[in-house]
Amino acid sequence: MDLTPDQMAAQRLAQAQRIAVLTGAGVSAESGVPTFRGPGGLWESHRPEDLATPQAFSRDPALVWRWYNWRRGLMAKCEPNPAHHALAALERRTPQFTLLTQNIDGLHRRAGSQAPLEMHGNIWWVRCMDCGARYEERELELPAPPTCRECGGLLRPHVVWFGESLDPRILGAAWRAAARCEVMLVVGTSAVVQPAAGLASVARQAGAFVIEVNLEQTPNSAEVHVSLLGKAGEILPELVG
């Protein structure tokens, strides 16, 4: 009997020894974290060039920090949802599992994922522009801008802005995981921001079976093996079983 696409995806995930998962903002949407693009997305009411570039930060660090403080306040109230939990469960049962996330909210780790590769950084970490110190900072009432506890220098969020390179070790590990996996699962990303958006093609060209879960079609949809349309928090628990 022919399998439906979701049954085929579930079977591939159950049988694979090596799985790579790439997540984007859509995986945290059901936790209440705003996405960037699409209806209600952050870029509908905020210009990325004013808030998420190194030039914007040099021009007006206070403005950028007020935006990050607002987002830190929002994210502090969010809990992992069934999609995060399903991915943590998939990791526990898969011999070689790599979670690649573009999200900075830390929710995968809170759901039990052991070592997510946070390609765009983490909003709960700060980095000093002067001495390079980087440390976790969970205080919600940070001044805008805050200063370094080591040297008093200007702190920035430890995230990757447009025009900045990703950490080469993280990018290298992400590329290797994509090139070596048997199955790649791509969840809740609009697949327009490089270099993360290219990972599905890397996996596909290396022979992996690629599954996409999203509310809508993306630039990746035409080249994946299975595209499942719907909410990650509903589809992933079904897929992982």
45 binds ligand BJW (CB under 6 A): no
Among residues 1 and 165, whose Cβ is nearest to ligand BJW? 165
**Does 120 participate in catalysis according to the annotation?**
yes
Catalytic residue among 84, 108, 120, 158: 120
44 binds ligand BJW (CB under 6 A): no
Among residues 16 and 228, whose Cβ is nearest to ligand BJW? 228
Binding span for ligand BJW by CB under 6 A among 36-44, 55-63, 128-136, 202-210:
36-44
Which one of Zn ion, ligand BJW, none interacts with residue 151, CB within 5 to 8 A by kind? Zn ion
216 binds ligand BJW (CB under 6 A): yes
Interacting residue with ligand BJW among 190, 212, 227, 239 (CB under 6 A): 190
Binding span for ligand BJW by CB under 6 A among 72-80, 142-150, 163-171, 173-181:
163-171
State the CB neighbour count (10 A cutoff) for residue 62. Answer: 10
Encoded one letter per residue, x for contact with Zn ion by CB under 5 A and - for no contact, window 109-148 reads -------------------x-xx-x--------------x
Interacting residue with Zn ion among 44, 49, 136, 150 (CB under 5 A): 150
- Residues contacting ligand BJW: total by CB under 6 A: 35
Would you say 129 and 52 are in contact if contact means Cβ atoms under 8 Å apart?
A: no
Among residues 78 and 129, whose Cβ is nearest to Zn ion? 129
d(CA 202, CA 180): 9
Tell me the three-class secondary structure of the chain, residue by residue: CCCCHHHHHHHHHHHCCEEEEEECCHHHHCCCCCCCCCCCCHHHHCCHHHHCCHHHHHHCHHHHHHHHHHHHHHHHCCCCCHHHHHHHHHHHHCCEEEEEECCCCCHHHHHCCCCCEECCEEEEEEEECCCCCEEECCCCCCCCCCECCCCCCEEEEEECCCCCCCCHHHHHHHHHHHHHCCEEEEECCCCCCCCHHHHHHHHHHCCCEEEEEECCCCCCHHHCCEEEECCHHHHHHHHHC
Q: Residues in the site for ligand BJW, rule: CB under 6 A? A: 24-26, 29-30, 35-38, 41, 52, 102, 104, 120, 159-165, 188-190, 192-195, 213-216, 218, 231-232
- The residues that are catalytic are 120
